[in-house]
Amino acid sequence: MPQETTSNLSAPDDAPRQSADADLLIHVGSPKTGSTALQNFLMKNQDPLYAKGLHFVKEGRSNISHNNLFAPLRGAAAADIWSAVAEEVEAEPGRHCVMSSENFFSPEIATSILEHMPQGLRRRTRVLVYLRRQDDFLEAMYKQKTKNGRERASPRDFARKRGTDLADYLTVLESFAGSVGIENVTVRRFQRGAFRGGDIVADFLGEFGLDKSDPEFAQPRHDANQTLSRAVTEQLGAFARNSSINVRELAREMSRLPDGAPRRSGDVFTKMERIEIMAHFAECNAMIAERYLRGTQNTLFDTGDLSQDAPDRYPDAEEEIRLYADAQEKIASAMGRIESRGRARLFRGDIKRSAHNE
């Protein structure tokens, strides 16, 4: 259970006091909360969003996000970066400016804001955080780390070993409250039933009174980062650890076709394991709800699916066998498609060389 911090929840005297008309909104993720889908929308619709009063900050942005600023904002360049952001915001009077990075979900970024962001900008900055229910978040993190070959532990051991470190939301929120003021930290739940408009993009735009369905906005063709089954991620992880097969290229190939890879959620933890995880974070979540939801919700997350009468989302034995068999077939099919375009593409370090030779 994360320990309650003793830091003062009030911001310093020179920090912001009013969030409603803040000129800079920093979207800080957190990881596995649809950030890529949101960032793709912001990137694709820069012009119509700008015309409607929303500016996607260019300083430090690489393509769709500000992820590459994580290391510089913790180093000697932090003051210069925040000064450049301040200049860009000042050049957009009357517009809301937005920065976005899941990498910003860190006390170190909050410290960077406190110590290096110009006071005038910090007075007009607020932070928006999306939080995913811890059992779902740990499922997503397990799949990611397993797919990359970095995790061999069972899901249960993974949750016990890494759960508190990965899902200690309160510590991060407290650090931002200390930087910009608790009234300037907005917490939104990453649960479909909690979204305005049914998804994260619509919910985010609602912060600015904008409508995602506006005909002037280009709409995404499909959901970003669709959930692969546990069976797929574990087999990809075995390739990553024991061969030179390029797992990233293989996963990319599988995602190109609607039926290119088995997709399944709820297949990492059993219902009882999920109950254990959420019980572990119950006190932490209650504190977050009390301090950051400001009376709008009594609880942080809806856990109705964990009630005694609710069915278990975890696959039964028959489905689990099918998922692993399907994973093997779809992985082999993807490998065949890659090989047909050039065998070197299957192996790490050879994609650029094979593309050059073609």
231 neighbors 62 (Cβ within 8 angstroms):
no
Q: Domain count of the chain? A: 1
| pLDDT at residue 3 is higher than 50 | no
pLDDT mean over 93-105: 96
d(CA 20, CA 5): 27
Q: What is the pLDDT of residue 226?
A: 67
Please, are residues 128 and 26 in contact by the beta-carbon 8 Å criterion? yes
Residue 245 backbone zone (phi > 0: left; psi -120 to 50: alpha; other: beta): beta
Q: What is the pLDDT of residue 254?
A: 87
Q: For residue 333, what pLDDT is reported? A: 93
pLDDT score, position 22: 59
SS (H, E, C) 101-157: CHHHCCHHHHHHHHHHCCHHHHCCEEEEEEECCHHHHHHHHHHHHHHCCCCCCCHHH
Asked if the model's pLDDT at residue 21 lies above 70, the reply is no
349 part of a folded domain = no
206, 210, 219, 221 from 215: Cα distances, Å = 16, 12, 9, 15
- Tell me the mean pLDDT in the region 13-41: 76
- Tell whether 79 is covered by a domain: yes
Residue 123: pLDDT over 70: yes
Q: How many contiguous H segments (helices) and E segments (strands) does the chain have? A: 15, 5
* Confidence check: pLDDT of 17 > 50: no
The token pair at 274 is: 């999920």
Q: What average pLDDT does this structure show over 233-253?
A: 92
151: domain range? 24-227+265-314
Q: What is the pLDDT, as a whole number, of residue 10?
A: 36
Lowest mean per-residue pLDDT among 166-170, 205-209, 351-355: 351-355
Q: What is the DSSP letter of 72?
A: G
CATH of the domain at 78: 3.40.50.300
Helix pair angle (230-242, 317-341), 10° resolution: 50
Question: What pTM was estimated for this model as a whole?
Answer: 0.85
Pairing relationship of beta strands 24-27 and 54-56 according to DSSP bridges: unpaired
- β-bridge partners, 55: 97
154: exposed, middle or buried (C-beta count within 10 Å: 0-12, 13-18, 19+)? Answer: exposed
30 upstream amide cis, omega within 30 of 0: yes
Helix axes 78-90, 107-116, angle to 10 degrees: 70
Tell how far CA 343 is from the center of its chain: 34
Task: Pick the closest to residue 125 from 202, 7, 27 (CA basis).
Answer: 27
Q: In this structure, is residue 18 part of a structural domain? A: no
Say if 237 falls within a structural domain.
no
Q: What pLDDT does 175 receive?
A: 97
Residue 191: its pLDDT value, please? 87
Q: Is 216 exposed, middle or buried (0-12, 13-18, 19+ CB in 10 A)?
A: exposed
Considering the domain boundaries, does residue 110 fall inside one? yes
Share of the chain above pLDDT 90, in %: 75
pLDDT one-digit tens code per residue, 283-322: 999 999 999 997 667 789 999 999 999 999 999 999 999 9
As a whole number of angstroms, the distance between CA 155 and CA 20 comes to 41
Lowest mean pLDDT segment, chosen from 20-29, 48-57, 235-244: 20-29
Place of tokens 């996963």: 251
Q: What percent of the chain has pLDDT over 70?
A: 89
Interval 224-233: pLDDT, tens: 556 889 999 9
Return mean pLDDT, the chain: 88
On whether residue 337 sits in a domain, the answer given is no
